[in-house]
């Protein structure tokens, strides 16, 4: 089927390539460091409670709903009713699928606008829900800077609002916003979000705002589009405990929005997974409570900023330019300067995926540091925009980054 092509997903594929040469894995965005003690303890203690091991209500455990409600009341500067304006999900991914399932109908040719690069789960999730993805690429506008020779800003990746509006027709239902953005690291400005919101309002569209990296911005402010005038009513915002507490394997996420939008989302969630796992919901609820006491999110953000700066310094040192991320935990490196020998041989599963996969494969095999080919985040007509880039994740230990630095010395 179209949504689940028989080819390997890019994460599994690149993990396998990395393992084959024992590369330092800066590919998939999982943390190579353990969660903080208080977070692990929260989960351990939750499991011991006998009442925490059976089905949760589909909407979520009351203790977690309360904590997520407090978080969003602060983030969105409005009261949040946890009994109608929130739902807990089996990871942000399932929250996204639930929104698409709730608001798209099969067989009607309904469309969803994605901004490329677009996280690779959006497209199959839309198609499974009966919708058609329509792609509008971010375009690099860095003045006279050549991104293959000079460092540019993630803010240089711009959405052309005319192009966005031109992609909308009577079949369009949803615009997906992702800020801070994976993989560019762009944090959308208030002005950009106002323009997107204005277009959504004029065409009466729903906004699905994927804000799983909301707590990771470096010197710029994260703005939730739901806080802009008139936007709460048409926006479902999605977040992730995995990203927030460094526990991507826990699979706990959430959706927040007005009751009219969360009710259908919750109904879809109920029929997809029924409920998310109980003990880790309790674990996340405790983690939220304790995080407030020790200023965890602020300290964590500083740690990530340090890792970002370290990884950027590594590429400064070897002279490969990159896109400075203002948020999230990925670095897009422009590797156009790397020349692949014409007689280099690639396995078929790489060869058939195009130039960018070949570049990333060559990089992993020759330099022992793995990344992700960002063309996987593009539709066919726009893949060329990312051919020169490799995405590296910096949610990794200092030792891992040091090891990567050593491996890359030969590039100097």
* Distance from C-alpha of 365 to C-alpha of 14, rounded to nearest angstrom: 11
Between strands 152-153 and 322-324, the pairing is parallel
Q: Report the nearest approach of ligand GLN to the CB of residue 388 (Å).
A: 19
Of all residues in the shown chain, the one whose CB is closest to ligand GLN is: 29
Q: Report the nearest approach of ligand GLN to the CB of residue 182 (Å).
A: 5
Q: Report the nearest approach of ligand GLN to the CB of residue 322 (Å).
A: 17
Q: Report the nearest approach of ligand GLN to the CB of residue 371 (Å).
A: 10
The sign of the torsion formed by the CA atoms of 106, 109, 110, 113 equals positive
- Binding site residues, ligand GLN, CB under 6 A: 11, 28-29, 182
Q: Report the nearest approach of ligand GLN to the CB of residue 292 (Å).
A: 26
* Distance from C-alpha of 177 to C-alpha of 114, rounded to nearest angstrom: 8
Cβ distance to ligand GLN smaller for residue 210 or 282: 210
Cβ distance to ligand GLN smaller for residue 232 or 377: 377
Cβ distance to ligand GLN smaller for residue 10 or 268: 10
> For residue 370, what are the CA distances in angstroms to 34, 189, 274, 330?
20, 31, 36, 13
* Distance from C-alpha of 230 to C-alpha of 38, rounded to nearest angstrom: 39
Say how many CA atoms lie within 13 Å of 113 toward its Cβ: 28
Cβ distance to ligand GLN smaller for residue 29 or 137: 29
Cβ distance to ligand GLN smaller for residue 98 or 110: 98
Cβ distance to ligand GLN smaller for residue 9 or 198: 9
* Distance from C-alpha of 319 to C-alpha of 149, rounded to nearest angstrom: 9
What string of DSSP letters covers 91-131? HHHHHHHHHHHHH--TTTT-EEEEEES--TTHHHHHHHTT-
Cβ distance to ligand GLN smaller for residue 28 or 32: 28
Of 391, 393, 320, 388, the C-alpha closest to 356 is 388
Of 166, 89, 85, 83, the C-alpha closest to 125 is 89
Scanning 5-109, the segments in alpha helix (DSSP H) are 10-20, 37-48, 62-76, 91-103
Q: Report the nearest approach of ligand GLN to the CB of residue 10 (Å).
A: 8
Q: Report the nearest approach of ligand GLN to the CB of residue 120 (Å).
A: 7
Q: Report the nearest approach of ligand GLN to the CB of residue 240 (Å).
A: 9
Cβ distance to ligand GLN smaller for residue 11 or 349: 11
């Amino acid at each position: 089927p179209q949504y689940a092509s028989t080819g390997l997903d890019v994460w599994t594929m690149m993990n396998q390539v990395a393992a084959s040469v024992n590369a330092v894995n800066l590919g998939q965005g999982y943390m190579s460091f353990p969660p903080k003690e208080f977070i692990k303890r929260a989960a351990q203690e939750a499991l011991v409670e006998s009442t925490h091991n059976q089905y949760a209500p589909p909407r979520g455990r009351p203790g977690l709903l309360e904590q997520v409600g407090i978080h969003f009341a602060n983030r969105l500067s409005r009261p949040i009713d946890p009994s109608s304006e929130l739902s807990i999900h089996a990871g942000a991914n399932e929250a996204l699928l639930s929104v698409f399932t709730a608001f798209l109908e099969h067989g009607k040719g309904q469309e969803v606008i994605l901004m490329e690069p677009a996280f690779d789960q959006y497209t199959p999730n839309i198609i499974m829900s009966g919708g058609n993805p329509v792609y509008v690429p971010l375009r690099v506008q860095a003045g006279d800077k050549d991104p293959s020779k000079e460092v540019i800003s993630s803010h240089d990746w711009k959405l052309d609002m005319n192009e966005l509006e031109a992609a909308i027709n009577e079949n369009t239902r949803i615009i997906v916003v992702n800020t801070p953005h994976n993989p560019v690291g762009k944090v959308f400005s208030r002005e950009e979000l106002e323009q997107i919101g204005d277009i959504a309002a004029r065409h009466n569209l729903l906004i699905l705002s994927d804000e799983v990296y909301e707590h990771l911005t470096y010197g710029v402010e994260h703005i939730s589009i739901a806080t802009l005038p008139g936007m709460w009513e048409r926006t479902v915002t999605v977040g992730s405990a995995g990203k927030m507490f460094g526990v991507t394997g826990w699979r706990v996420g959430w959706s927040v929005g007005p009751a009219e939008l969360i009710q259908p989302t919750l109904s879809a969630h109920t029929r997809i997974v029924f409920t998310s796992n109980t003990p880790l919901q309790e674990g996340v609820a405790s983690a939220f409570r304790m995080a407030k006491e020790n200023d965890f999110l602020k300290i964590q953000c500083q740690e990530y900023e340090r890792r970002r700066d370290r990884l950027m310094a590594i590429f400064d040192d070897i002279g490969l330019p990159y896109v400075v991320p203002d948020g999230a935990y990925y670095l897009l490196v422009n590797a156009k300067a790397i020349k692949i020998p014409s007689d280099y041989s690639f396995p078929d599963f790489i060869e058939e995926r195009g130039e960018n996969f070949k570049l990333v494969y060559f990089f992993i095999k020759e330099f022992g540091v793995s990344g992700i080919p960002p063309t996987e985040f593009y539709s066919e007509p726009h893949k060329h925009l990312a051919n020169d880039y490799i995405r590296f994740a910096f949610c990794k230990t200092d030792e891992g980054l040091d090891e990567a630095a050593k491996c890359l010395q030969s590039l100097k």
